[in-house]
Copies of this chain bind each other. A is one copy, B any other.
Amino acid sequence: MTDTRESGTRSRTRRAILAAAASVLARDRGATLADIAEAAQIGRSTLHRYFSDRQDLVNAAVVDSFRVVEKSTAEAAIDQGPPLEAMRRLIAAMVDAGDRLAFLFGDPRVLEEFTACFEPDLSLPTTVGLIERGQAEGVFDPAVSAEWIQQVLWALAYTGWEAAEKGLLPRHGVAAAVTRAFENGMVVPQARP
């Protein structure tokens, strides 16, 4: 389904714009189109040649970021192996896709406005699928909904990214910190009754 019509140059520019948009908007939602163009190292007029509207750009960036996260998820092979290990791979992948995730997750409105008119690739394994598999195997907390667990997962990944952004966590320690938080929470196992 990729655009075979588009020249190599154009599709490269398009990708650069989408990546810049996600990256810039993740850090500042009010960022100007000029800001985004500058980050993508292109002229503002060029940006308008690819996306007529600001809304058009944001929509495309959401879809693109979704695909990227979807792809990372797929590459983590979350439908294979023990759920706990699959989850660890997924968390690492999500931390890698850092600002895409921050862009999607950081703005509740962007996402919810768009979930209606966007259908995910059904052939790919989903995060909720992994969670439900884990719950069935008694690994993930079965007392709460899979959606809630997914929300927590996203929130922790986002928090880890943000903490790294402001220097609270070293980049290389983010995945471990998030994994630890997701699996154990903040109370030491020994202290539990």
Contact = CB atoms under 8 A, between A and B. Distances in A.
Interface of A: 27-30, 84, 108-109, 112, 138-145, 147-149, 151-156, 158-159, 162-163, 165-166, 168-169, 177, 180-192
A190 to B, nearest CB: 7
Given A182-B185, A189-B189, A192-B189, A156 B155 contact: yes
Nearest to A189: B192
Q: Classify the secondary structure of A's interface with B.
A: helix
Given A29-B29, A29-B30, A162-B108, A188 B142 contact: yes
Contacts of A153: 186
5 contacts: A84-B191, A108-B166, A138-B190, A140-B186, A184-B185
A158 B153 CA distance: 13
A181 B169 contact: no
B186 A141 contact: yes
B177 A141 contact: no
Give the one of A109, A158, A185 with max B CB within 10 A: A185
